[in-house]
Chain A
Amino acid sequence: MALLILVAVLTLLATRSASQLLWIVLLAVAAVPGVFPPRRQWVATAGRVAEVLLVAFGAASVAVAAAAAGTQPDGFGAAALLPYLAVPLIAATLRGRASEAGVLLAAGICGLVVAGVVYQLNGDALLKSVGYIISCAQWLVLISLGTLTTGALQRAVQARREPQPYVEATRLLTQLRTVARQLPGATLDPGGIAEHLLEEVRTMAKTDRSAVLTAGGGGRLMVLAQAGLAADGGERHDWETVLDTDSAIAEAWASQLPQTSSRSQVRGTPRDREVSALVVPLVAGVRTVGLAVLEHDGAGGFPPAALARVRAAADQAALRLEAALLFDEVRSLATNEERQRLAREIHDGVAQELVIIGYGVDNVLATLPAGATEAEEGLRSLREEITRVVTELRLSLFELRSQVDRHGNLTSAIAEFARIVGASAGLRVHLSLDDSPGRLPSAMEAELLRIAQEAITNARKHAGASNLWVTCSVDPPNAHIEVSDDGQGIADQRVDGRYGLAIMAERAERIRGRLEIRPRHPNGTTVAVVLGPSGRRDSV
């Protein structure tokens, strides 16, 4: 603004005529989009281009007028308006558009040349007058230098501020904390979000079967949620989860574009069955988070209008799903790390101290004088007690440290735990395992392992059993884990805290599973956790 007034005064001084102030007015108009930034970037850019061209032609016009007025002969009058050229150039630089500033500079030079040809001074082209060329060159150099300096200064100032990624990360994490505190547990639950999406799309298109898949381990997808009956009327769908096949699922995952197919995405469906399938990728940012697969028994199930609606719903769900998956991963990483730390602390601290006390008792026992039978008896039972406590601690450490291996799987982790714990307690362990190549989300696997561990530990500690049965069948998104013993049962035991029942129930709830605790016939207890449709049917 100040510059605008300055060039107005200079123009007046040079030309002694108010008519040239028209250029100033035009420049003020062209400056408007730059001062009040419009929503569209190109409007501001166009404003700046107009400013540059106006300055060029205005400068030529003022030069001619000044020569006519006799104040600045030989075209030096152009210097009155040229300083304003700095405004659009520096504005573009400050907005971080260095290349636009370059283009503006070039446009300015072209404009000055063209204006120099168009305007006449003393019957010849203005461009041929020395004064015009000198003042143009002078100001162009000055303004270029000014623009470059501004850009460098701006970068230096930005670099000295807080590192941007941390600011952004802090902001997002704070937001996440707020969200995680305000919402009930289920809203950041991947399975719940997936099921909600399926319910939503079922109202948008004719759908006989549907599923939401997300990335599992080893180049495979895993089923987060599914709905509808399989083609053969059964409840099981064997969705195509391998990514290196030529299915529409693999195609949609790789291309991030919706795919339609006339072939079912359920493995083992006969080729001649008439099916229309739609696979919509769930894309959050640039990452494919998952896929929504819809199938209709019949041709032409998904017209463009339905496809658009499903896409819109999928886009919305994608971000929610990504947030939930990330949140789960962060939580499970943090929990695991804390468990490992706790294990190290117990191992290096109280556990070793108990071992020291044990060895101390051993040494006293060995050096007792003959005949001190009473003392010996007392010490022996003390040593037994110490051994029992250390064994207990050792198993707690084992429980804290064991986790579902990235390369192993849930069933083998549970089986190993049952075998080791069973062996240490003299329990006969009967395993019945059925795993599938698919994997559950790691957070779910971790919770299921913890529930199984708690149940097995209960059987060992409190049941006084001689047999332990562990049944473990995992078929994502379904899972069924059952731990039974033939001990005294829990009817006559305290059912509170000590049994960790509340913790198991809480864990089951977190993964939307159902925990069942019932007496086993004829004696003992069965603890089961069920994940999947059969598990939710009677709880709904």
Chain B
Amino acid sequence: MSHRELDDMLGKGWRKPAFVRNPLLRWGLGLGFVAYLIAAVLTIEVDWGRVYEGLDRGWAFILAFTSPDFLSRWSDIWSGLLESIVMTVAASVVGIAISIPIGLGAARNIAPLPVYVICRGIVAISRALQEIIVAILLVAIFGFGPLAGFLTLSFATIGFLSKLLAEDIEAMDKAQAEAIRASGARWMQWINYGVQPQVMPRLVGLSMYRIDINFRESAILGLVGAGGIGATLNTAFDRYEYDTAAAILILIIGIVMALEYLSGIIRARVQ
């Protein structure tokens, strides 16, 4: 190796390795993405005049947060909020109660194959349908009111909780469960003393998280007539009463924050 070549190599600065190793794939992905972006941006029609006009209203809305109006529509807000909370509580209780047996059935190391397939099917259906679509169908079937919202949230809770519970059961320590079984426990005792203590902390944590999600979702179910604060919020927007809308949003954010704080405390105590 000549002196010159060595110098060239030494002079070559170190460079960070690329995120995608294969250069062909890297450039292909990059180019394809840029092409898609251009196509996507070109097909979006934006009426900039309308947006410009709307900026005033946007500013008015932001200002409304500094002076939210809780009082003038308080009875509407209160009844909507109460309905949301009631739906959340009832749906969480029922959803968690149903999702425990389904979660047990959807864990491959506990359930026999036919039960496993059925339970996984229920989970897949519940997860694939969004809450709002389920709510539309249930409102069409059961009529307006919180019952449709309650059923929607229960259904969504089943898919969420059963899947995560089943995954936790599948990942549990086999030795403990086997030890209980070796002591001659019946099936119920086996679940109760071998499996449940292992998954309980996570089940409690997930349930708290789901209650939090259920409350947030209950805020939109009113848009399709399934009860809750969403209907009040929608009316407030439609009437351009931004101060009332701001009050409702502040209440929602406050309740969600309180729930998150509470679930943090409970999870810390359980684990």
Q: Do A and B come from one complex?
A: no
A residues with a Cβ closer than 8 A to B are: none
B residues with a Cβ closer than 8 A to A are: none
